[in-house]
């Protein structure tokens, strides 16, 4: 299955590229995946405020069947969403809690005892699509914020993405 990867999270890109043929990586300059994508010869484009509308047009008109987002900094406007494609987002919270850009920080600020990853279908509403898979991480008091981020993005997110894509491919 051909896919487009949108975002900044390296482990997510690696997992998506194991399960699909990533024909384009769209990220921000100096992101976690910038050097990796170039080194591994991915077709890469950069998104910013000036060119995001061109990127949205590309996403809508691509022949890729799967659009996968993980750490993409922009909401795709409704007019650019083609529901004939499979549009998926990996979000670092146990949705419906903590939508938006700072879910981990918000959860920790509110003394949550668990956080996690939700892989869900994208809609025109931010972080509101049907959940495909979720995985939890129990927060231990002695864990540093760096350790929490490392476990969440290096272990929990790739496992959740793998499970979600396997489920979608079986359909």
pLDDT tens-place string over residues 37-80: 888 889 999 999 999 999 999 999 999 999 999 999 999 999 99
Give the pLDDT confidence score for residue 32 in this predicted structure: 83
Give the pLDDT confidence score for residue 142 in this predicted structure: 84
| Residue 85, CA atoms < 13 Å, CB-side half-sphere | 22
Domains of the chain from N-terminus onward: 2-170 (3.40.50.170)
Give the pLDDT confidence score for residue 134 in this predicted structure: 98
d(C-alpha 26, C-alpha 51), whole Å = 11
With the C-alpha atoms ordered 82, 86, 92, 93, is the resulting torsion angle positive or negative? positive
Q: Please list the ranges in the chain whose pLDDT falls under 50.
A: none
- Per-residue b or e along 82-113, where b marks 16 or more CB atoms closer than 10 Å to that residue's CB: eeebbbbbbbbbbbeebeeeebbebbeeeebe
d(C-alpha 115, C-alpha 134), whole Å = 10
Give the pLDDT confidence score for residue 141 in this predicted structure: 83
Give the pLDDT confidence score for residue 171 in this predicted structure: 64
Give the pLDDT confidence score for residue 143 in this predicted structure: 86
CA-wise closest residue to 53 among 15, 80, 16, 82 = 80
68 CB-near residues (< 8 Å, 6+ apart): 3, 4, 5, 6, 7, 12, 16, 20, 88, 89, 90, 161
Give the pLDDT confidence score for residue 147 in this predicted structure: 93
Give the pLDDT confidence score for residue 38 in this predicted structure: 82
Contact predicate 58/3, CB 8 Å: no
């Amino acid at each position: 299955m051909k896919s487009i990867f949108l975002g900044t999270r390296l482990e997510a890109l690696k997992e998506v590229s194991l399960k699909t043929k990533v024909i384009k990586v769209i990220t921000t300059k100096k992101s976690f995946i910038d050097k990796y994508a170039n080194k591994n010869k991915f077709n890469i484009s950069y998104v910013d405020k000036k060119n995001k509308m061109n990127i949205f047009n590309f996403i809508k008109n691509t022949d890729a069947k799967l659009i996968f987002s993980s750490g993409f900094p922009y909401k795709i406007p409704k007019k650019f969403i083609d529901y004939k494609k499979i549009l998926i987002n990996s979000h670092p919270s146990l949705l419906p809690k903590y939508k938006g850009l700072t879910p981990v920080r918000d959860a920790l600020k509110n003394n949550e005892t668990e956080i996690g990853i939700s892989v869900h279908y994208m809609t025109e509403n931010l972080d509101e699509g049907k959940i495909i898979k979720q995985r939890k991480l129990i927060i231990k008091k002695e864990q540093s914020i760096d350790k929490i981020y490392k476990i969440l993005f290096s272990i929990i997110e790739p496992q959740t993405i793998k499970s979600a894509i396997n489920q979608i491919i079986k359909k």
